[in-house]
Chain A
């Protein structure tokens, strides 16, 4: 399948009663041994570069650069500029390479665990990501549409 529609996930805040929406995508990530590890990414059109904790990447045996980029820092953490080899769960078996910044020291548990973010750079030239708020059966708040280019 070259098109995937994933319901936007809603949650209601107990404090205000507001409904908050998010778009999540499961990526299957290729490990150093050629196995695949499924990981959840928050799709974020406000994020320039896909990010993942370096320690989390190491934990799941994902290939990451040995050395951080000198002079580059995100949220106070060192940055390793690498690639994620991915398949998109629910789409066809096409393998993509997405640029990714691995944050922090891979050998040290992150002080604050951040979620994986799927950003725009090097992604939207390979797949089309569209947020559509039209309700449909099984997707009352709309969908994230993922299409192969």
Chain B
């Protein structure tokens, strides 16, 4: 089994923290971390890689370890369903063409 570091201080692990749906807001700390890395790692850290990292860290910030259906969009990361049952319902009710680019599982 792959080792995986879990950050229990993230809102993802706080059951009382509200979890946003749809297009996820980027937490300021994620934005700051990405900006810092991008400045440090020029010219390698491109805008495209920055977006990818921002999306990835944002998803983990809100949903690390949780079972979700999500997709990457031009605007950011979009969460479509949360939890085993809700994701199952989403998959059943959504036609295959609308499920293109949707991943399921824990981020």
Contact = CB atoms under 8 A, between A and B. Distances in A.
By size class, the interface of chain A is: 35 or more
A125 interface: no
Contact of B45 (A9, A40, A47, A140): A140
Nearest to A52: B105
Contact of A9 (B53, B88, B104, B106): B53
B1 interface: yes
Interface string A103-145: 0000001100111110000000000000000011111100000
Contacts, number: 82
Given A9-B56, A14-B9, A115 B105 contact: yes
Contacts of A44: 2
Contact of B7 (A15, A19, A35, A46): A15
A149 interface: no
A20 interface: yes
A16 to B, nearest CB: 9
B41 A13 contact: no
Contacts of A115: 2, 4, 105-106
B1 to A, nearest CB: 6
A106 to B, nearest CB: 13
A66 interface: no
B44 A139 contact: yes
A14 B2 CA distance: 21
Interface in A42-90: 42, 44, 46-47, 56, 59-60, 75
Interface of B: 1-5, 7, 9-10, 29, 33, 37, 41, 43-46, 48-49, 52-53, 56-57, 60, 65-67, 84-85, 88, 91, 96, 101, 103-106
Given A109-B84, A139-B44, 7 more contacts: A10-B37, A44-B2, A59-B104, A109-B85, A114-B106, A137-B46, A139-B49
